[in-house]
Amino acid sequence: MKRVVITGMGALTPIGNNLKDYWQASINGVSGAAAITKFDTAKHKTQFACELKNIVPADFFEKGEARRYDLFTQYALIAVQEAVNDSGILLGEVNKDKIGVIWASGNGGISTFDEQMGEYFKGDETPRFNPFFMPKILVDMASGIIAMKHGLRGINYTAVSACASSNSAMMDAFNYIRWGKANAIITGGSEAPITPSAIGGFNACKALSLRNNSPGDASRPFDKSRDGFVMGEGSGAFIFEEYEHAKKRGAKIYAEVVGAGMSADAYHLTATHPEGLGAILGMTGALEDAQLNTDQIDYVNMHATSTPVGDISEIKALHSLFKDHLFKMNLSATKSLTGHLLGAAGAIEGIVAVLSLKNQVVTPTINTQEIDEAIPAGINLTLHQPQERKIDYVLSNTFGFGGHNASVIFKRFQ
């Protein structure tokens, strides 16, 4: 099968509006959490999130164009444009029939849905819906519009597996390219879930942190006092490209994609399996796909959302799979910085994984003060400070409501 490499990336995150700023903030351990500004939170139990900052998405589009796109699509287009520019791929000079888009989102146009239904329930005698209402809320619309903006006629669809969606999309992009079905695929994910219904809904299922008085340290993976995740928004984009295609055009290469695995917990509507059985299966599949032994993984970017059950089940899965080698690896939790971007989480965390390979440094887990006693002593959680080390392979995990698990392995390109 063909080799797949990463030749471009783009990031729009709560701690950085482009690739450079996002990486610098990640290394510096910056928290993106603060009081919600997008709506009045007086009726909500959780009143903070990791919002994008100092950016007006509509500024990136022609006059009136942004009205046709939900925020999750706008976020996608911004990150994708950076990735395309970063890759140096001249889309006017390549076969666009062989370039596709496999995008991810868990909630799609939920901000549009909230806005429009709010207007409906105001009680007007003849409620009016925006003519773009239905296209804007469709979860597949970002992938379609990315293709339209760039004239890409290859494989095109959206992967939805809740918070595992981005890794599911990346796995599919990886497979289609190595099977020879595409020369390149734009992949990644976007999410715009800081809305009254999303915050209220996740509050109702007791998933969100309630630390309204200290949002900056609310996302505290592995900490004894963790009480839920912090919502985030944004987008992460990759250009996955067939190696010979990239080599022929002299592209810079960040890393190689070498393995991916997916599985199901088959256990619970929202909770992960307490022993991490599905996670073990997904990670094992990725290792087998990459033809790697467990002792070859140097760093795991964990799903680690800062929920009481989820963090421990993932640690148990890692311990069961990696055994003694677990104590020789670095683990870190990107969500302590960015919050949880749901369907886009795997995309921005994949960017951190790839840049960790490139720069040979692991970004820190922040806010963790007292490690849960259920976590075995001696595990390196990369607390508070970045750590330089030799990194050849990174495993990136994502798990989602419904019991979805997806893991991707990136290799240092030399």
Q: Catalytic amino acids?
A: 163, 303, 340
* Cα distance between residue 391 and residue 143, in whole Å: 32
* Cα distance between residue 128 and residue 46, in whole Å: 31
3-state secondary structure of 392: coil
* Cα distance between residue 386 and residue 339, in whole Å: 18
Helix (H), strand (E) at residue 78? helix 71-87
Q: Give, rounded to a whole angstrom, the gap between the first and last alpha carbons of the chain.
A: 19
Of 378, 359, 334, nearest to 234 by C-alpha is 334
Residue 405 β-bridge partners = 263, 399
3-state secondary structure of 352: helix
Residue 261 β-bridge partners = 407
Positive or negative, the CA dihedral 76, 301, 406, 205 is negative
Region class of 404: left (phi > 0), else alpha (psi between -120 and 50), else beta:
beta
Please count the CA atoms within 13 angstroms of the CA of 133 that sit on its side-chain side.
12
Residue 84 burial (10 A CB sphere; 0-12, 13-18, 19+): buried
Of 306, 310, 144, 302, nearest to 217 by C-alpha is 306
